[in-house]
């Protein structure tokens, strides 16, 4: 998107009205940050999206001009839940895309196949022994 298009979208929002009605926060429901969720109303989502759009609009200027590529967020605003578990304090801008390492496919080896076959043979022997033992016990009783 061009800067003009972003600015047009930003101008469509009434930020002061959104701040009056918005509520937004990040909470954890489990043991760690990988178990998190956002709790917000419609205005809160729009206001947070507006903050991200503003950061996007400023990002090129900040990356080119500043050593410190950080956009601070106001996390003590009234529209952010007081008891939220996570507060976003700033956005750190990066220029390049993250390159992920390709996943290495696990290839079964001969020892894996032998171990699997051996366990199957042991299981068959145990089942046969169980049936022989049960048949022998019934022959003693009856």
pLDDT 10s digits, 85-101: 888 888 888 877 888 88
Q: What are 21-77's pLDDT values in tens digits?
A: 999 999 988 777 788 999 999 999 999 999 999 989 888 888 888 677 888 887 778
Residue 134 sits in which domain range?
A: 105-142
Q: Is the dihedral of CA 88, 92, 98, 104 positive or negative?
A: negative
Contact 29/59 with Cβ under 8 angstroms? no
Q: Looking at the structure, do residues 110 and 85 belong to the same domain, yes or no?
A: no
Q: Looking at the structure, do residues 71 and 132 belong to the same domain, yes or no?
A: no
Q: To the nearest 5 percent, what fractions of the chain are helix, strand and coil?
A: 50, 15, 35
pTM for this prediction: 0.62
Q: Domain count of the chain?
A: 2
Q: Looking at the structure, do residues 88 and 111 belong to the same domain, yes or no?
A: no
């Amino acid at each position: 998107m061009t800067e003009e298009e972003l600015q047009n979208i930003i101008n469509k929002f009434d930020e002061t009205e959104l701040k009056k009605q918005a509520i937004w926060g990040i909470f954890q429901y489990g043991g760690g940050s990988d178990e998190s969720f956002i709790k917000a109303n419609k205005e809160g989502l729009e206001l947070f999206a507006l903050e991200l759009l503003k950061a996007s609009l400023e990002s090129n200027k900040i990356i080119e001009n500043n050593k410190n590529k950080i956009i601070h967020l106001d996390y003590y605003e009234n529209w952010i839940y007081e008891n939220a578990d996570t507060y976003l304090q700033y956005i750190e801008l990066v220029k390049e895309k993250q390159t992920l390492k390709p996943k290495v496919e696990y290839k079964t080896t001969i020892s894996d196949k032998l171990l699997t076959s051996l366990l199957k043979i042991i299981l068959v022997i145990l089942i046969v022994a169980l049936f022989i033992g049960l048949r022998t016990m019934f022959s003693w009783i009856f």
